[in-house]
Amino acid sequence: MSINLSLYLVTDSTPAILKGRDLCTVVEEALKGGVSIVQYRDKTNDTGVLVETAKKLHAITQRYNVPLIINDRVDVAIASGAEGVHLGQDDMDIEAAKKLLPGNAIIGISVSSVEEARRAVEQGADYLGIGTMFATPTKTNTKNIIGTAGTKKILEAIGDMDRKVGAVSIGGINLSNVQRVIFQSQASNKGLDGVAVVSAIMGADDPKSAAQEFVKRISTLPPFAVLPPAPRPNEVDALLSEVPTVVQEMVSAHPLVHSMINFVVANFAANVALAIGSSPIMSPYGDEAADLAVHGGGLLINMGTLNGESVSNYLKAIQAYNARGNPVVYDPVGAAATEIRRAAVKQLMAGGYFDLIKGNEGEIREVFGNSAGRQRGVDSGPSTLNNREKAALARDLARRERNIVLLTGAVDYISDGNRVIAIGNGHEFLGQVTGTGCALGTVSGAFLTVHRTDKLLAVLSGVLMFEIAAENAAAAEDRVRGPGSFVPAFLDELYAIREAARKGDNSWFTGRA
Ligand code: 3NM
Ligand code: MG
């Protein structure tokens, strides 16, 4: 049986969602907009009302040739002639439901873990409702918020099974996140067959146009999606040969970068941005982001001096840049330092897409969900991973998020989930001045803004320009005696590379990386 799960409408009869409108009218509007399957979900009414309403809905869904599924209640499904049931983990089990229902009935089940998913497939479920994707006011008693990372794990597990099964994601899915949900949940062997939505359609002022817009977005990639190029033979050499050209591109494009950055280093990061030839704006105010994003620049989120308003400001900005496909860089400063920061990481990871996540070992581990425990302050602390493990961590996080990860340290690791590049450039003075790591976030934003086809190459080019400038500055022994005199020399050397690149002179790079 092949069921079209692409846009799965789940009904809700509560006044907050229906706002005085008739349930059947709202569902019919959604059907006109392109909903492909409907579930009647009603947790409050008596059985008589449920059967009566299900029959009315069935008469409508039949006209649109769309299956009607009944939530929880096998008896209501049978009495109304609906095409199937959707069972929760606490409802009747699949085996019992199969005995009662006609042989061709559709049986769906809610799952929130790999174990539940495997069991449901073995028992013969036709599709899985995988959730909860994001926290949602529509259902607050959910077991588990699993996000795109948890959803992907479940898809990976069922993709390996012999029996094929449909899969939809549910919970907090709306027009602004639906493309990201589908893109980031995609496992190597299975993707979502659709999304299940309650409030974003049932509660919309115009359910028909909301459904139409969902249909459009479901069938297209999100604006920020760039599929990484297939690795070539001698990939590292090939990448390195392209770096000077990418630096030239960045210098001549003069990209705008909007940094939402901590107040300790904002001045230094702005000076670095100017020195490389980009155009900085430092604004922590989320409501400004939509206007700034219009210019096509990049965004940096650096949560080094988090406060009570920061996360909501960041989320507004991320959504504005994501919607246009402009690059967003996340620097999760001190990610594991406090419970507040840990919560902020979760909210931000659930709230948007980051083209690049950049951090030290402790920060990247926290983002990955494999924390080594509380960080002391915001510095990296002693390293506990060896080089192989660091490379694997960068690769695994990038593969999970479908983005670029830059794990910084004495050796930096950069990955797109497939390629992993280790970079040994730089100088120890970079670690003795505040703000160098943060400024690299702004620099990466500038490069990602200009070079769009290979994000890994963009970030690699920024890191190499930055670290070679640091080497040049530290080597200027006439001018540099320590971290203090290093800072102006570093800005000078960034500027010198920029001027060389502007003239098409690549000698700064030859033999240096
Ligand atoms: N089931 P909205 S979440 C009905 O996690 C339901 O199994 C969920 O509503 C689960 O689209 C949910 O308005 C509510 O966020 C989804
Ligand atoms: Mg249920």
Alpha helices, DSSP H, located in 174-227: 178-185, 199-202, 207-218
Pairing of strands 420-423, 412-415: antiparallel
For ligand 1, mutation pick of 7, 10, 113 (most atoms within 8 Å of CB): 10
Q: Which residue is catalytic, options 430, 438, 487, 501?
A: 438
User: Quick one: pLDDT at residue 382?
Assistant: 64
- Residues 6+ away with beta carbon under 8 Å from 485: 479
Place 376 in a pLDDT band, splitting at 50, 70 and 90: low
Helix axes 114-122, 147-159, angle to 10 degrees: 30
The residues near 372 (Cβ < 8 Å, ≥ 6 apart) are: 336, 361, 362, 365, 384
384 band by pLDDT with thresholds 50, 70 and 90 = confident
Distance in Å, CA 327 to ligand 1 centroid: 30
Asked whether 406 and 363 are in contact (CB, 8 A), the reply is no
In testing the pocket of ligand 1, which one of 198, 201, 202, 214 has its CB within 8 Å of the most ligand atoms?
Answer: 198
**SS3 of 282, please?**
strand
Proximal ligand: closest to the CA of 113: 1
Q: What is the pLDDT of residues 58-112, one digit of tens each?
A: 999 999 999 999 999 999 999 999 999 999 999 999 999 999 999 999 999 999 9
Strands (E), 144-283: 166-170, 194-197, 256-260, 279-282
Tokens of 396: 């695994």
Average pLDDT score over residue span 105-133: 97
Ligand 1 is surrounded, with C-beta below 6 A, by: 10, 110, 129, 131-132, 136, 138-139, 142, 170-173, 197-200
Atom of ligand 1 nearest to the CA of 131: 5
In order, the DSSP letters of 370-393 are ---S--SSSS--S--S-HHHHHHH
- Between the CA of 77 and the centroid of ligand 1 the distance, in Å, is 20
Q: Closest ligand 1 atom to the C-alpha of 110?
A: 7
Cβ neighbour number for residue 343 with a 10 Å cutoff: 11
Q: pLDDT per residue over 146-183, tens digit each?
A: 999 999 999 999 999 999 999 999 999 999 999 999 99
User: Over the stretch 191-238, which tens digit does the pLDDT of each residue have?
Assistant: 999 999 999 999 999 999 999 999 999 999 999 999 888 889 999 999
Through-space distance between the first and last CA atoms of the chain, rounded to whole angstroms = 56
Provide the 3-class DSSP secondary structure of residue 10. strand
Distance 12 CA to ligand 2 centre (A): 13
Q: Give nearest CA residue, ligand 1 atom 3.
A: 171
DSSP string, 308-372: TTHHHHHHHHHHHHHHHT--EEEE-TTTTTSHHHHHHHHHHHHH---SEEEE-HHHHHHHHT---
Catalytic (active site) residue 438: yes
Question: Separation of 60 CA from ligand 2 center, angstroms?
Answer: 23
User: Is 380's pLDDT higher than 70?
Assistant: no
Residue 406: the pLDDT is 98
CA of 195 to the centre of ligand 2 (A): 17
With the most atoms of ligand 1 within 8 angstroms of its CB, the residue from 11, 109, 138 to mutate is: 138
Least distant ligand from the CA of 9? 1
Among 467, 355, 448, residue whose Cα is nearest residue 408: 467
Please tell me the predicted confidence (pLDDT) of residue 496.
Answer: 98
Give the count of beta carbons closer than 10 Å to the beta carbon of residue 5: 23
The residue among 2 and 48 whose pLDDT is bigger is: 48
ipTM score here? 0.96
**Which pTM was predicted?**
0.95
Q: Which ligand is nearest to the CA of 169?
A: 1
Q: What number does the ligand 1 atom closest to the CA of 88 have? A: 7
